[in-house]
Chain A
C-alpha cells in the first residue's frame, strides 16, 4: 500500500472509531441532555478522552495521532453528524497550547480545560482588555461554550495566557442557554488568582474554527440523509414526495452544496497540515468556515421545509439539526467575518 492509501485508511479508522460515541440513528441521549447542566455527559467526556480524541491533531511527538487536522476534521464531522454536545473542539484547542501536568490531566479526562478568549461578539481577537498582573487576572470573557462543565479556564490576557480554576475566588460565571440546549458562559474575573502559561492561541483558534466547520459539515450530512429518507417515505397525491421534480431538484442542489462544503473543509485541513505560513492557513480556514456557516444553515433550513408541518415540531429530530447549526454557524467567526478576513489577507489573485 502506498503512503496516500495508508493515510486514507487511517482516516477511515478515525471515522469508524467515532461510532463508539455517536449512536447510529438514535438521538435520545442528545435530547435528554438538552437544557440540563452542564449540557453534556461527564462519563462520555471521559470516554472521549480514553479514545485520545482531544490530542488527535497533535504531532505524534506530543502524544497525538500524527493524522493532524485531516484526522481531526473527520472526527469532528462524525461528532457533528451525531450532534454530540461534549466540548471536544474547545478542549482540543486547550490541548494545543497546554503542556506538562495540565495537559496530562486534560487528556486523562480528569480536568476539563475550556479556553475563555473572546471579549466581543463576532470577533477572533483573543488579545483584548483582560489583564494579568502579579498572578491576578481581571477582565470579562464572553460566549464560553459549556463553561458550566469546565474545571479550568484557559484565559487570554494582554500579557499572555493563564490557567484559572473555575472555583477560584474572583471568578463569576453567568450562563445563558443556547438554542441547541447548551450554554454560553459570561465569565467575569476580578483579581482571580491565575497561573501564567506560555504560548498563544493563534494556531489553536484556526484549528477550532476549522473543526467547527467540520462539525457543521457532519450535522448537515445527517440532516440531509434524514431528509432524503423522508422524501422517499412520505406520500402525498398518491406518491412519495421524492417523485416531485421540484423536490428532486432541491435535493440535487443540496447535494452540490454539501460536496462544496466537504471539499472546502478537507482542503483547508490539508493546508493546515502542510503549510506553516499563518496567513495562508487563515485564508483556508476562512474560506471553509464562511462556507460551512452558510451551507449548514441552508441545508438545515431546507430540511425543515421539506418535512412540512412535522419539521416544525420539537418531536421530530430534524429540528435538532437546525438548532445546532444556528449555534455553531457563528462560533469562531461568522460567515461575514471570515469573508472580510479572507479579503484582508490579500492573497494573490489566483487564490491557490
Chain B
C-alpha cells in the first residue's frame, strides 16, 4: 500500500496524483454505492465517509493544521473529476463545505477545537437552516427568532427546504436577534444540536419522489448562549461569506462532468455516438465544460490563497447549473421514449435520463436562484445604476 497521506500526495506530479486517487477509489469505494439513482442518506454513505476520514481525505480544501488536505485548486479539481468518473455518491457534506470553512474563518478557538474534529470524525452531521416559507429569495426578511434569556437563547420559528435534516444532528441557522434593527442588521448565526426539545422535522417528498428536504420547526428551543458564531447581529455578513463558499461549491464542475459522461453513454446506447448532429451538440457541451473548469480554477485558487470571494462567484453558480441542465435536456431529447421511464434504463444506473433531468432542475433554484444571482452580478459586479 503506497503512502496516501496528504503530505505524500502533495509531492506527486499530476498524473501520479490522479492514478493514486483512481486506485484508492477502486480499492475502497463501496461498489453498491456507485451512480446512485437518488441522493443517498447518511445511513448509506457513512462507511464511505469514515473511509475518507481515516485516509485524511475528507476535507481537500481545509488547511492541514485543521485536518484538511490543503490541496491546490487544480488538485481539488482532479479529485472531483476522479470521484465523478467513478460515480461516487455525494455524502452529507455541509460540515465539510460550509460550516467548517466558516468556523475556520470566524469561529473562536474553542469552537474550532470542539467542532472541526467532530466534523472530520463523522460525529457531527450538519444541515443548513436559512430559508423559511416566506423568506426565500428575500432571505433577509427571515422571522425565526432567538431571544436571549439568561445564558440561553429561546428559539422559535420555522425553516424549510432543509436538505437532509433527518440525517443531521446539528443545524446552522440564521435567526433574528434584533427585531428593531434594519433587516440585515438584526440577524445572527446560531449553531443548534437537533436533539434539543422543541425541534420537529417533517420530511417533504421532492419532485424526484425522494424524502430529501424537510420542514424544520422550533418551538421554545433553549440553545446555549455560546453557540452563536461571531458577534451578535453580525450573522448576515458571515452568511454572505459562506454563500461565497456555497456558490463555489455549486459552481464546481461536479454535476456537469458527471452528466456529460452519462450523456455520452446514452448516445452510444441510442446509436447516436457517430451522428454528426449529435457530435456537434456533444462537442459544444464538452467545450462548455472545459471552459467552465478553467473559470472554476481561477476562483478556487483565490480561496486557496486565503482571499475571500467576491460577488463575481455568482457567475460560476449560474454557468454550472445551466450547463448541467443543458446536458440533461439533451439527454431527454435523444433518449426517445426512454426519457419517460421512472427507473434507469434496463436497470443500468448510469442510464437514467429522466432522473438526472429532474435532479438538475433545482440547481438553478437552491443556493440563491439564478435570477437572484443575475441581479447580484448586475448590481455588485457590474455596478449598474438603479
- Give me the interface of A with B, judged by CB distance under 8 Å: 118, 121-123, 142-143, 176-180, 184, 235-238, 241, 244, 246-247, 293, 297, 301, 304-305, 308-309, 311-315, 319, 322-323, 326-331, 334-337
With both chains docked as a complex, state the minimum distance between the C-beta of A332 and any C-beta of chain B, in angstroms.
9
Question: Does B365 lie within 8 Å of A122, measured CB to CB?
Answer: no
* Contacts A301-B361, A312-B361, A313-B207 given; does A176 touch B342 at CB 8 Å: yes
A-B contacts, 13 listed (Cβ < 8 Å): A121-B337, A122-B270, A176-B341, A176-B342, A179-B341, A179-B354, A235-B134, A308-B369, A309-B131, A309-B362, A309-B365, A329-B332, A336-B334
Which residues in B have their C-beta under 8 angstroms from that of A312?
206-207, 361-362, 365
A336 to chain B: which residues have CB within 8 Å? 277, 333-334
B-to-A contact residues, CB < 8 Å: 131, 134, 136-138, 141, 160-161, 204-207, 209, 270, 277, 325, 329, 332-343, 354, 357-358, 361-362, 364-366, 369-371, 374-375
**Distance of A123 Cα from B336 Cα, bound (Å):** 8
A326 near B332: Cβ-Cβ < 8 Å: yes
- Which residues of the partner chain A approach B370 to less than 8 Å between Cβ atoms? 305
- State the Cβ distance, B57 to closest chain A Cβ, in Å: 31
Residues from chain B with Cβ under 8 Å of A297 in the complex: 329, 332
Q: Which residues of chain A are near B277, meaning CB under 8 Å?
A: 336
Contacts of B138 in A (CB 8 A): 236-238
Selected contact of B340 from candidates A180, A237, A308, CB within 8 Å: A180
Expressed in whole angstroms, the minimum distance between the Cβ of A176 and any Cβ of chain B is 6
Task: State the CA gap A306–B277 with chains docked (Å).
Answer: 32
User: In the complex the two chains form, what is the Cα distance from A265 to B33 in whole Å?
Assistant: 45
Residues A330 and B207 in contact, CB atoms below 8 Å apart: no
Are A308 and B341 also in contact (CB < 8 A) when A237-B138, A297-B332, A336-B334 are?
no
Chain B: minimal CB distance from A41 (Å) = 20
Kindly list chain B residues whose C-beta atoms are within 8 Å of the C-beta of A241.
Answer: 137
CB of A309 within 8 A of CB of B161, answer yes
A237 to B183, CA, bound (A): 11
Q: Give the complex CA separation of A176 and B347 in angstroms.
A: 11
- Which residues in B have their C-beta under 8 angstroms from that of A236? 136-138, 141
On whether A178 and B342 interact (CB within 8 A), knowing A237-B137, A312-B365, A330-B337, the answer reads yes
Residues A184 and B371 in contact, CB atoms below 8 Å apart: no
Count A/B pairs, Cβ under 8 Å.
124
A315 neighbours in B (Cβ, 8 Å): 204-205
Q: Evaluate whether A334 and B336 lie within 8 angstroms (CB atoms) in the complex, with A297-B329, A308-B365 already known.
A: yes
What residues of A have a CB within 8 angstroms of the CB of B131 in the complex?
309
Q: Which of B339, B341, B354, B365 has the most CB of A within 10 A?
A: B339
Residues of chain B with a CB closer than 8 A to A247's CB: 371
Query: Which chain A residues border B335 with CB–CB below 8 Å?
Result: 121-122, 330
Q: Closest chain B residue to A122 by CB distance?
A: B336
User: A308-B136, A308-B137 are known contacts; what are 6 more A-B pairs with Cβ within 8 Å?
Assistant: A121-B338, A176-B343, A301-B329, A312-B207, A330-B340, A336-B277
Find chain A residues with CB under 8 A from B366 CB.
309
Set B134, B207, B338: member contacting A319, Cβ < 8 A: B207
Q: Are A335 and B361 in contact (CB under 8 A)?
A: no
Bound form: Cα–Cα A92–B338 in Å:
23
Whether A334 pairs with B343 at a CB distance below 8 angstroms is no
A122 to B336 CA separation, bound complex (whole angstroms): 4
Chain B residues, Cβ within 8 Å of A123: 336
**Smallest CB gap from B136: residue in A:** A308
Known: A122-B270, A301-B361, A336-B334. A179 touches B205 (CB 8 A): no
- In the complex, which residues of chain A have a beta carbon less than 8 angstroms from the beta carbon of B209? 314
Given contacts A177-B343, A237-B138, A309-B365, A184 and B337 within 8 Å (CB-CB): yes
- CB pair A322 B329 closer than 8 Å: no
Residues of chain A within 8 A (CB-CB) of B365 are 304-305, 308-309, 311-312
Which residues on A sit within 8 Å (CB–CB) of B270?
121-122
Give the residue name and chain of the A residue nearest to B366 (CB): A309
What CA separation (Å) do A312 and B209 show in the bound complex?
A: 10
Rounded to whole angstroms, the CA-CA distance of A166 and B42 in the bound complex is 45
> B354 contacts A309, CB within 8 Å?
no
Determine whether the beta carbon of A331 is less than 8 Å from that of B337.
yes
Closest 9 CB pairs of A and B: A122-B336, A327-B340, A121-B336, A177-B342, A143-B337, A236-B138, A314-B205, A178-B340, A312-B362
Contacts of B339 in A (CB 8 A): 326-327, 329-330, 334
Q: Chain B nearest CB: distance from A130 CB in Å?
A: 18
When C-beta atoms are compared, the residue in chain B nearest to A250 turns out to be B371
Q: Which residues of B contact A142 (CB under 8 A)?
A: 337
How distant is the Cα of A60 from the Cα of B332 in the complex, in angstroms? 40
B residues less than 8 Å from A176 (CB atoms): 341-343
Shortest CB-to-CB span from B135 to chain A, Å, is 8
A313 touches B337 (CB 8 A): no
Shortest CB-to-CB span from A88 to chain B, Å, is 18
Q: How many Å lie between the Cα of A319 and that of B369 in the bound state?
A: 18
Neighbouring A residues of B204 by C-beta, 8 Å: 313, 315
Residues of A within 8 A of B332 (CB): 297, 326, 329-330
